[in-house]
Amino acid sequence: MTTLTATETLLHKGSGLQVVVGLGQSGLSVANYLTKQGYHVAVTDSQPTPVLAEQLPAAVDIRQFGAIDAELLQQAARIIISPGISLDTDAVAAARRANIPVVSDIQLFCEACTVPIVAITGSNAKSTVTTLVGQMAADAGVNVGVGGNIGVPALNLLASSDMQLAVLELSSFQLETVTNLGAQVATVLNMSPDHLDRHGDMLGYHQAKHRIFQGAKSVVINREDALTRPLVADNLPRLSTGIHAPDKGHYGLITDPEGQIYLARGTERLLSADKLQIKGRHNLLNAQAALALGELAGLPLDSMLNTLQQFTGLEHRCQYVATAAGLDYFNDSKGTNIGSTMAAIEGLGAVYAPKDGKLLLILGGQGKGQQFGELTPFINKYVSQVLFIGEDAKQIEQHLRATKLSDEVALHQCQTLESAFATIQQVTISSLSQVQAVLLSPACASFDQFSGYAARGEHFSQLVSQLATDI
């Protein structure tokens, strides 16, 4: 019997060709991980000269750029696809028909990870909740790795040999190729139409999101959203969250006779809402979700509540920018779907409504096949002016006009943010204007005019700063 050395064992194990499709940050992390494991790795990307190509390890000797190489994929023992590439891409679809396994970097991570995983997805707020849970764990003295769809590719977290807990934000694109994630605790925070251009319809989107529950040891459920409820065994440990008073052992909100709102667990008041630095009803749900996830991951409640009071939120997520000419400006550029924008309108609108104030809303960009008429009830209640920008601006206006939009809501085509700011000054100069806050919450992708939502948000903030300086 021949005895293999450690290196030979790895090479033997990795004798089948592993083809990485897409060379973004996740694709680079996969190439690095697999080559270190001794696999034979090839990389293909549709870009002629991918920016990250120079960072590929030398062991990657097959590099096919300029198009996704269909012939190369047919030679693969396994394909690891980047989240930005659709499974319906011709070369990938042909490989799947040939029964070649197609997985994501998250599949590789969960197969290698030996510590508990907190897995978080949802149409909105997943970055906020992921960051908050990660901070709660760190503040409790846990060596935590935070990554996935937020910042650090999941596989890079494995470089920390003393990691005790992994907190992952997961997108529907990552989840559609994951099987049996096996998270310690998993949640779908909320569900609203998004990425329908990729998933085809809400059923496809829902099915992708709910793969997060496969093999989960416990779950967190949003009582306000039936689409978040998983089909799992009745005896699986679970906690729920909601805007109403909770049942025993679950999370919710309690309002005292004076109208003060509290985060609560059962009948126990945990924290007054006015002690949170993140505002709006949607953030009260986010806070509950983080507490419930942390509890099921074993984090101490007192420590989590201390973290919660210090948490200031994320950039580009309902972020207060400045007050200029009597108007408060909020940057919610990360609001790239209608569900997120609904939450932003309702969360901030409820703050200004008691003062008879209205919002001026900036919408637009790339609409991703969404039906924007679903925003109408929220606009009618909280918004007096809507400004449209970007590629699908006219289509979005048509969607709103086709619904029961209030005659009191004025619509303006602006195309660019610069034009929108000129319009803001025109429509709010009247003493009769009810506008007290300007909200950039586009409900759209940004790639028609910007490199991403962050660039859009930064440009918005620069325009606000310039306005404040000019006054």
> Distance from CA of residue 86 to its chain's centroid?
18
Helix (H, G, I), strand (E, B) or coil at 201: coil
Backbone dihedral angles phi then psi of residue 395, each to the nearest 5 degrees = -65, -40
101 vs 77: CA distance, rounded Å? 7
The encoded tokens of residue 73 equal 């994929």
- The two structure tokens encoding residue 408: 């009191």
Which among 40, 126, 210, 250 is annotated as catalytic? 126
Catalytic residue among 124, 149, 190, 286: 149
Residue 368 a catalytic site member? no
Within 13 Å of residue 278, how many CA atoms lie on the same side as its CB? Answer: 25
How many Å apart are CA 94 and CA 65, to the nearest integer? 19
| Nearest-angstrom CA–CA distance, 456 and 445 | 10
Interacting residues of 392 by C-beta distance below 8 A, sequence separation 6+: 364, 365, 366, 367, 444, 448
Residue with tokens 């996969």: 30
Instruction: Please tell me the distance from the alpha carbon of residue 312 to that of residue 277, in angstroms, as a whole number.
Output: 5
C-alpha to C-alpha distance for 73 and 99, rounded to whole angstroms: 11
Give the position of tokens 């709103």.
Answer: 400
169 neighbors 121 (Cβ within 8 angstroms): yes
> To which H or E segment does residue 27 belong?
helix 25-36
Q: Which residue type, as a one-letter code, is found at position 306?
A: N
In whole angstroms, what is the distance from residue 84 CA to residue 92 CA? 13
Whether 182 contacts 113, CB under 8 Å: no
Q: Which of 40, 195, 210, 282 is catalytic?
A: 195
- Residue 358 known to be catalytic: no
In the annotation, is 99 catalytic? no
Alpha helix ranges (H) inside 313-452: 338-352, 376-382, 393-401, 417-428
CA–CA separation, 471 and 468 (whole Å): 5
Distance CA 97, CA 78 (A): 13
Q: Which of 344, 367, 334, 368 is nearest to 169 (CA)?
A: 334
Distance between CA atoms of residues 414 and 420, nearest Å: 5
- Residues marked as catalytic: 126, 149, 195
